[in-house]
Structure 1
Amino acid sequence: MHLNLAGRTALVSGSTQGIGAAIAAGLARSGARVAVNGRSEAGVEEAVTRLAEQVPDGDFVPVPADLATEEGAARALDLLPDVNILVNNLGIFEARPALEITDAEWRRYFEVNVLSAVRLTRAYLPGMVRRGWGRVLYIASDSAVVTPAEMIHYGTSKTALLAVNRGFAKEAAGTGVTVNAVLAGPTHTGGVETYVYQLVDPGLPWDEAQRLFMREHRPLSLLQRLIEPEEIANMVVYLASDHSSATTGGALRVDGGYVDAIIP
């Protein structure tokens, strides 16, 4: 299967590191022009340099903007008026006891994890519909379905994102634009390493800490290891391609079998 995205422009929110950076690299390898996003100009430029080393023939565009704010979304739209592929990857997470999560934290998780995606979809979906082709993707999580006791604010925000996904898919019905969510399972990123060490002995070597985390905190995983960011990116690139034209309104799992269900 040849996934050719030549001639397409993609925006990946929160793509200076982790899953977002892997998605940016994967889209570029398939020929897309990829807008790399982060909050600071310096951070975005550094990410573009790293990505260009990974994908020497890639076409990367820096889009520094805080997409968790209205002003940041407007700046992104000014810098990049039209996109064919929108990947709403921006998200935050942290382990917190449920009864200690403040109103301010709940609002912040909604702003960053949900409303940032709503704003970008609202900005770019109409152009996709006019052109008769487009892809809107939301990077959700197994936590949207299996709410983690140690971060219910994060899980709730990802559950909301699935509803956002389904609603916008209905808005785009019959237009040639598809809208899908990807349920990412426990993934090996720098942020997740920090999170793992919040839950297990920080003095343990990484391999041992990862095994203990999976055994004690993610025992339902059939993969029994953390997923690599490139494995999430593979699904995103497929969904961004013409080959996925009959898939819309879905929540597709790249969760290592963590969600114990027999349907997607």
Structure 2
Amino acid sequence: MGFFDGLLGARADDFDSGSAASNSIKLTKRHHQVSLTRQGAATGHLRVNLTWRMRTSDLDGGPRPSLFRDPFKALKPPEVLGHGQSMVNVDLDLGCLYELTDGTKGVVQPLGGYLGDVNAPPYVKLSGDDRFGSASGETIYVNLDHRDDIKRLLVFVYIYDQTPAFDRTHAIVTLYPSNGPRIEIGLDERHQQARSCAVVMIENVKGELVVRREVRFVYGFQAELDRLYGWGLQWGRGYKAKAER
């Protein structure tokens, strides 16, 4: 496995809560910002979920063969045809750079087991590490009852292996506030060599909690996102233990 920028931290117990809203707001380049405060959704636990799947074009391996030219190959199911050189195993990870109002800065991410805490600083917690793209994906919880302690949070996604493959995945980051509609940010732009993406900024602006779409792909890892947004952390190389299915 490849190496990635990582910070070491204490491992915490998993935390799980939150529920989905019945409707949604999609953040786009044109409509890129929404206020949680104005929607009455700036309290309770904000659930931030990452899910992904391979793009249909990669799974299909291109157009289906003609029934007349190659009847045996044409009758094979798509999942058999799709297992060629174009298929890769993608391990997308969800992370969050945080800055508190007292000046404390850090990161919550699977790498290094730095999973955070929802009831104590930084009031941000990662529920676990999904390495295989399961339906539930990966989830970060933010305790908005401590919103006055939070200055800004940058939610990001990075690829944990040596194969840049954002262009082969369809990833969605969804925010589920305690009240009101969910907020969706799709990572649909194709950046073949990108390894990380700053997805969304959650910022306390004069007491108002604002969610702003970023979707900025970079070709490095967390340290490059740090430089881009001026966090000023010290980064080193990090690894994951081998996972078993």
Normalising by the residue count of structure 1, what TM-score does the alignment of the two structures yield? 0.23
The structure with the largest strand share of the pair is 2
- Between structure 1 and structure 2, the one with the greater Rg is 2
Structure 1 or 2: larger helix share?
1
Higher relative contact order (CA 8 A, sep 6+): 2
